[in-house]
């Protein structure tokens, strides 16, 4: 290959590489929940793990939160465990005990999610949505615990 052909080939490769880099930079980043495994940052991955635990706990506790009711930026969550709530009087059955243990665990995970969302991901809309949804799950499971007879 002549020097002229080699230079032309390298120039063409450079143009192709620049075009690919420009196209990649213009593409919006997918939200963490639709990225592939390991592609989200450690905070998003931790939130997603806690959120998945809440979903599993809700299923075991038969708590359904159809659509998040809380919206807006993430704010800290300071839930009181059911035994610290003076207005909460669940029945003495094993089923009520399990319901309340699950509610406490859901609220603990919600608190962790909201702590991450407010301290490490304060301007992240995805994290705020997960925090708000987790708060709603905490409220619903707490109500189920306290109303259990």
Examine the domain organization and report whether 94 and 39 are in the same domain.
Answer: yes
Task: Dig out the tokens for 134 from the structure.
Answer: 């987790």
Examine the domain organization and report whether 22 and 46 are in the same domain.
Answer: no
Chain-centroid distance of CA 127 in Å reads: 6
Examine the domain organization and report whether 57 and 120 are in the same domain.
Answer: yes
Examine the domain organization and report whether 57 and 5 are in the same domain.
Answer: no
* Predicted model pTM: 0.68
For each of the chain's 149 residues, which pLDDT tens digit applies?
Answer: 554 554 444 444 444 444 444 433 333 334 444 444 444 699 999 999 999 999 999 888 777 765 556 677 888 876 556 667 888 899 999 999 999 999 999 999 999 999 999 999 999 999 999 999 999 999 889 999 999 99
């Amino acid at each position: 290959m002549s020097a002229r052909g080699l230079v032309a080939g390298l120039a063409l490769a450079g143009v192709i590489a620049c075009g690919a880099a420009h196209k990649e930079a213009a593409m919006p980043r997918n939200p963490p929940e639709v990225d592939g495994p390991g592609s989200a940052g450690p905070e998003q991955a931790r939130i997603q793990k806690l959120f998945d635990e809440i979903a599993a706990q809700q299923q075991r506790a038969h708590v359904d939160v159809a659509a998040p009711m809380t919206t807006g930026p993430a704010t800290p969550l300071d839930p009181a465990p059911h035994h610290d709530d003076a207005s909460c009087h669940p029945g003495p059955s094993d089923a009520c005990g399990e319901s309340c243990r699950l509610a406490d665990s859901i609220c603990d995970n919600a608190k962790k999610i909201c702590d991450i969302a407010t301290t490490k991901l304060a301007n992240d809309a995805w994290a705020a949505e997960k925090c708000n949804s987790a708060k709603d799950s905490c409220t619903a499971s707490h109500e189920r615990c306290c109303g259990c007879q």
